[in-house]
Chain A
Amino acid sequence: MIFLIEFMRNIRRAMSLMETCSECRGFHVFDPDKPYLIPRVEVGATPKIVVYNDNGVNLYRYSPVTEKQYETPIVIVYALINKPYILDLAPNRSVVRRFLQAGFDVYLIDWGEADLVQQFSLDEYVDGFLYDFIEEVKTQTNSDKVNILGYCMGGGMAAMYAALYPENVKNLILLAATLYFEKNEVGGMVKLSDKRFFDPKEIIDAYGYIPAWFLAERFKYLRPVENYFTKYINMFLNAENKNLLEDFMRMEKWIHDGVNVAPMAYYRYVKEMYQDNALAEGRLFINGRRVDPKRITMPVAAVVGEKDHLAPPPNTIKFLDFIGSKDKKVFRTPGGHVGTAISRKALTVWDEVAKWLGKRSGKLIPTRDWITCGWRYGPICPI
């Protein structure tokens, strides 16, 4: 009898799953760099426009939702890995929207997809693209300084930029940022990238760039049972809950819809950061200039997830001991690496972060028209 009941429930679950798949019109076309079934769900809730573009790297400006905004804009520096729509996944799960509602002019740097031709190194990303894009934001907003929010690897790049050009940064927010790499204290990816066992040159030799699937699989190694097995079982058992299923599909899309990374940028980030802790110890050089963390003297906030296994809290928090800033604040969320940006509990912490930033971002001024600033560079980009 019990088996019959469970059998019927399974039929209901399977039907619900098929229904959701049909709603999202199946899966994306197979891509050799992303050999996964990626559901076609809608992501990226807030309208945005491309306001600047260079070599496939886009600078987006989000549509304002308030009549007045703080005079200092915020630039989100995303990681080179994966796509930035995780910060604006759905209307109720959007860090971007929280900042817009708090009265910030929000810009985001999307690094795009690297290929064989784009052999950019960290030098170009930090001192080339990031520098140019921030200069562009300063020009467009008529401000001398910007607020920077760096997520994951983007946090590392934001910290490098802030150390090189502190005069351009008003406040720095490090969200689950990978900055401090003492393997016994941090663990996770730092252990997996131990220099005795991992040489990033081998991937470059084989592919010429870092394929999206390789990075996705390396992240999954750290929680193999969850990522390859139990996640799907739990999804099936909860398949009758439509909202949960939609969230699952969005997450699946984000996890597998990664981007290929420029080889030399990844190589240097692993070799000098993960394997040598060069940024925290002041031994990193960008374009021949030493990146001294003591030059980070502006207010700094670290937002960390208590359950984050990709960038565990010490990965970000310990770095604060090495910087020159006296105004430092740590915000802890109950989620993991991604949960810090999308979980409902974490989003309440983001309101506190926005308040903290608001106090340090100057006065409120009338919002600039968001369409006119971008029309000359490109069309309105819905996603």
Chain B
Amino acid sequence: MIDPYKFVEEYFRTIASVYESSYNILRNLNPWDKLTEDEKEEFLRVLAEIIYDGVEFSESFLKDFFMLSYTSDPEVWLKIYEKWLSFVEKEYRKLTETTYMAAIFNSLDDLYLLSTANIQRFMDGFLHYYGFATKFDIIKLGKAYVDLKQDLKRETRKIKTGINEIKEEVGKLREEIKKAKRGDKR
């Protein structure tokens, strides 16, 4: 028979544990803690500015909106709509220029890229087991090709420099021979 007190205790312990773990997981995923004090302050300042601008804008926007009931020109509608769009663009731009938003975008990228890389590694392991070549084999071959090409270029340049030096020397020798011949004739 289940002890009701024990059950309630277990129930609350589980709830507390789920809450704590979820909080910690979210905290680990959220880059907020990695920000410096200045960056945190920057984000909060921008957020406050956006709220202030939003309140100010909504006042003029509501006025415009009520004015619409007196007009039947679609151009006026468009102008108000465009005004609203440019306001959203401007405010969102401010937000995306903060380090916190950049960090959030990057952590979303991280999640996607890490999961993609893990799936690919698993697939590669599987294919390698059955003796198939994978993307990583092609990359290794590519790297070897690039190394070889670089070596060839380096050697070619050395040879070219050598040829140029020889050409210069030959030119000098020819000049000297010419001078010597002229001297003989005299």
Contact = CB atoms under 8 A, between A and B. Distances in A.
Interface of A: 1-2, 5-6, 9, 55, 116-121, 123-124, 128, 132, 187-188, 191-192, 194, 196-198, 202-203, 205-208, 218, 221-226, 230, 233-234, 237
B34, B102, B114: residue with the most chain A Cβ atoms closer than 10 Å: B102
A197 B143 contact: no
B15 interface: no
Given A5-B74, A191-B102, A197-B102, A119 B139 contact: yes
A275 B135 CA distance: 29
A225 B74 CA distance: 24
A121 B145 CA distance: 12
Contacts of A1: 72
A143 B129 CA distance: 58
B93 A223 contact: yes
Interface stretch (B2-10, B104-112, B168-176): B104-112
Contacts, number: 102
B89 A226 contact: yes
| Interface bin, chain B | 35 or more
A221 B105 contact: yes
A123 B77 CA distance: 56
Interface of B: 31, 34, 72-74, 77-78, 82, 85-86, 88-89, 92-93, 96-97, 99, 102-103, 105-107, 109-110, 113-114, 116-117, 120, 135-136, 138-139, 141-143, 145-146, 149-150, 153
A376 to B, nearest CB: 19
Given A194-B103, A237-B78, A123 B150 contact: yes
Prevailing SS type, chain A contact patch: helix
B135 A188 contact: no
B96 A208 contact: no
Contacts of B88: 225, 230
Nearest to A1: B72
